[in-house]
């Protein structure tokens, strides 16, 4: 698969403006995770909300004066959801690659 083919495949899921959003969300997730006494289960929901807001803001369907059409909201929800899912995938891959000690201390399953 050529580089251009991979980019075209990726653009089928995310618009070119949204390609940087998963990395921004991942950085935001790292920052939130370092807040003391913050419950980690809330992080994906916060990232989803931020991703949806960014997704709606990055849509090309805006009318002047700022009329929000249903297709803008739907496209923003989809784009934000995909960006958030990608950020969570990147985060899990990061943990698997660089934080293996987290997974090595789990008890062995007995068969």
Q: How far apart are CA 62 and CA 59, in angstroms?
A: 7
Q: Are 79 and 14 in contact (CB under 8 A)?
A: yes
The C-alpha atoms of residue 67 and residue 29 are separated, in whole angstroms, by: 31
pLDDT in tens, the chain (111 residues): 666 776 677 667 788 888 889 999 999 999 998 999 989 899 999 999 999 999 888 876 655 556 667 777 888 888 899 999 999 998 888 888 887 655 555 555 555
Query: What is the predicted pLDDT for the residue at 45?
Result: 94
Q: Please count the residues of the chain.
A: 111
- Other C-beta atoms lying within 10 Å of the C-beta of residue 32: 14
């Amino acid at each position: 698969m050529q580089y251009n083919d991979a980019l075209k495949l990726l653009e089928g899921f995310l618009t070119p403006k949204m390609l940087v959003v998963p990395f921004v969300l991942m950085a935001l997730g790292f920052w939130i995770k370092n807040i003391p006494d913050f419950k980690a289960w809330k992080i994906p929901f916060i990232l989803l909300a931020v991703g949806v807001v960014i997704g709606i803001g990055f849509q090309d369907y805006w009318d002047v004066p700022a009329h929000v059409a249903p297709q803008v909201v739907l496209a923003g929800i989809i784009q934000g959801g995909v960006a958030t899912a990608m950020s969570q995938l990147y985060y899990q891959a990061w943990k698997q690659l660089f934080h293996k000690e987290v997974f090595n201390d789990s008890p062995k399953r007995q068969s």
